[in-house]
Structure formats: structure tokens, C-alpha cells
Amino acid sequence: MYWIPILAIGSYLLLKNTNEKKPRKKTYNMANCNKLFKDYNGNLTIKSAKKDRLKESKRVLRDRIRKYFKDNHPEYVPEFYIQGSYKMKTTIVTKDDDCDLDDGVYFKREVGVTGTTLQKWVKDAVIDATSADPQHRKRCVRVIYAADYHIDFPVYYFQEDWEHPRLAVKDEELQESDPKEVIDWFASAKDGNGQLVRVVKFLKGWGDFKRNKMPSGLAMCILAEKNIKYNDRDDISIKETLEAIKTTLNDSFECIVPGTPYDDLFSEYDDSRKNNFLSNLDDFIEDATKAVEDEPNQLKSSKLWRKHFGDKFPLGADEDVDAKEKALLAQSASILSGTAHTKRDGSISDSGSVKNKPHTNYGGK
């Protein structure tokens, strides 16, 4: 009768192999700041009233652009496609309380006037839309709503026989560019729990707080997707993602856009800009490691995070929240097991004046 031990060994090997396929996560026992990161995400997110104003401004500006071209250049019919962070839901409100929306203007026709002229026409269409003059920037026309938000209008030709649109660039030739490919890439990369979106916003919040030519929002998005380390806790995820970003950039300092023209966003960084970013990254990793691995007090941990996120990141409680949670769980187990006692001051412990009856009400009637 050898089948019992053989079966047991087989079951053990099966269980062992199954367990080995699961990623082993490092255990952290210091201050849990996951709730603070959820609150920080809320502080970065556009509030509904501002979002409604932004959407209404987009509608009004689109109507102005349509009317301008209908009245002045009827052979050019604009179509629109929202792109960038707004489409990917990674837009943040900056420390100046500003945010943006990118609304591509497409002309699906053969090339006529230069891209620069096409940009100038879009600028003419939105003059006097706000109290600030629109800006004719290199790759877009910007309409500014002072102390609130701005809307960028990149302008494209898209001939029927082209595979990809071509972007108008001020005083330069048209450049092949397809922002929809980036949107599709990010949509396919997102996880069901929204952690990638949050981590992108955290990195953008860091860049906004530090500024001084930190990487663009798109660069932060690409770095996050390429290096994200998923975890049940956002504080652990961002700490491990930062470490992965550093390893990746040490191997090769580049940031390739996952869409036409697949350019490197870091290709024009001089040594000063590169070193500033890497220095900030090292400092952030050092403090994130302290916050996650060494600091049991949530308030002190939150102050470490604030050094890199600013005061949009909330302050924590002046206590060891993990120890408090463990104590509450132990007390709960004591009550459920029937070993709990109530002291004269009303507190619960394993010994005291009055022994509690076992708790049997689990929510049923």
C-alpha cells in the first residue's frame, strides 16, 4: 500500500511547482501610506466643476474653428480628435492649479498651404476667445484660460493615401505623427485596478513639483508603463517602479515614443538636464526606500513623500498605523474567540473584570 505517500509526494510537487510560478513579493512592515496615495491621486485629479468648464471651452473653440474655416477657407474642413493625457485619463492639476487638454485639428485633404500657415489660420480662428492672446507655439496653437487651464490645438494634414497623419511644425516641414497609436498603446497596457494610471499621475506630480526641465508628461507615462511594478499598495508600487526606472535608464538613457514616428524623447537632453533628472530620481528612491522600509511613523513617512510631491500629498497620522491595525485585528480575534474581557474603563483585553460572551452576530437578522 504505497499509493498514499506517493500521492502525497505528487501533491507536494504540484503545489511546489504552482507556487514557484507566482512572483515573490518583498514584505514591508513599515508605515502603510497607501491611503495617503489614494488621497494624493484625488488631489491631482481635475475636479468636476473645472472639468465641466474645460469641456465647454473645448466645444466653444471647436465651433469657432469650424465657423472660421467655413467662412474663410471652405476648402479646408476641420475634424477633431482629443489626444494626450486627457484621453488617457492621466491629466493632473499642477501646483499652479492649471491643467490642459490636447485637441487635434485634422484636415483630411491633400497638402495645400504650409503647415505654418495652417497653424496661423487656427490661431486666427480663436483670437479673442479669451482675454489672453492665443500662442502660436512650435507644435500647436495654445488658448489660455488664465489661472484655470489651457487647450492646445496641434494641427495635422491627413491625405487619403497616407498611412499616418503629418503634424504642422512652426517654420519647418510637416512631420509624420500619429497620436492615436499612443492612445491605443496605453489603453492596451492599463490594468484593471487603475494602478498604472495612478503611477503615471504620481510621476507627473513629481515632475511638476520639481520642474527645472524634468521629463514631459508623455515621457513619465512611457517610463511608468515600461517599468511599473504592481503591488496592492501604491506606496510600494511607486517605490519599486522608481528603482526599475533607474535600472532601465542606467542600461540605456532613452525614452522611445510607442507610436509614429517612434522618436526618442531624451535624444536632445544635454548633460545638465540629464543629470538633473537622474539626481532627482536618486533622491526620490532614497526617500521612498526610507518611507517604505525604515519609517514606522506615518506622519514622518508622509513628510518624506512630500519632499518629492509637495503639499498636494497629505500628511499622515502621528502614529505607527501598522501596529495600531495589528492591535485592532488581535482585539477583534479575541472578541470573536470568546477570550476577551472588559476592564472597568471600558477597554477590551485578554483579562479584566468581566469576561465577554462569544460574539455570534455576523450581520444576519
Q: What's the confidence (pLDDT) of residue 341?
A: 56
C-alpha span between 242 and 257 (Å, rounded): 19
Domain membership of residue 350 as a residue range: 321-355
For the question of whether the overall pTM of this predicted structure is more than 0.85, the answer is no
User: What residues are labeled active site?
Assistant: 100, 102, 152
Condensed to tens digits (0 to 9), the pLDDT of residues 279-293 reads: 999 999 999 999 999
C-alpha span between 361 and 148 (Å, rounded): 52
C-alpha span between 283 and 335 (Å, rounded): 45
Q: Is 154 within the bounds of a domain?
A: yes
Average pLDDT over residues 121-143: 97
Cβ atoms of 149 and 167 closer than 8 Å: no
Q: What CATH number has the domain bearing residue 87?
A: 3.30.460.90
C-alpha span between 44 and 209 (Å, rounded): 12
Number of domains in the chain: 2
Nearest to 162 by CA among 177, 181, 172: 177
C-alpha span between 217 and 199 (Å, rounded): 12
In the listed set 131, 153, 177, which residue is the last one of a domain according to the structure? 177
Query: Is residue 125's pLDDT more than 50?
Result: yes
In the listed set 152, 177, 202, which residue is the last one of a domain according to the structure? 177
Q: Which amino acid is at 321?
A: V
Average pLDDT over residues 330-354: 58
Query: Is residue 23's pLDDT more than 70?
Result: no
Nearest to 313 by CA among 328, 298, 303, 326: 303
Percent of the chain having pLDDT more than 70?
A: 80
Q: Is 150 within the bounds of a domain?
A: yes
Q: Is 310 within the bounds of a domain?
A: no
In the listed set 177, 202, 221, which residue is the last one of a domain according to the structure? 177
Q: Is 59 within the bounds of a domain?
A: yes
Of 42-56, 214-228, 315-329, least confident by mean pLDDT is: 315-329
Condensed to tens digits (0 to 9), the pLDDT of residues 68-97 reads: 999 999 999 999 999 999 999 999 999 999
Q: Is 113 within the bounds of a domain?
A: yes
C-alpha span between 287 and 140 (Å, rounded): 38
Q: Is 128 within the bounds of a domain?
A: yes
Condensed to tens digits (0 to 9), the pLDDT of residues 171-195 reads: 999 999 999 999 999 999 999 999 9
Per-residue confidence band for 8, with pLDDT thresholds at 50, 70 and 90: very low
Per-residue confidence band for 322, with pLDDT thresholds at 50, 70 and 90: low
Query: Is residue 334's pLDDT more than 90?
Result: no
Cβ atoms of 284 and 244 closer than 8 Å: no
Query: Is residue 242's pLDDT more than 80?
Result: yes
Q: Is 83 within the bounds of a domain?
A: yes
Average of per-residue pLDDT values in the chain: 88
Average pLDDT over residues 153-164: 97
- The half-sphere exposure of 80 on its side-chain side, counting CA atoms within 13 A, is 18
Q: Is 133 within the bounds of a domain?
A: yes
C-alpha 197: how far from chain center: 4
Q: What's the confidence (pLDDT) of residue 31?
A: 86
Query: Is residue 230's pLDDT more than 70?
Result: yes
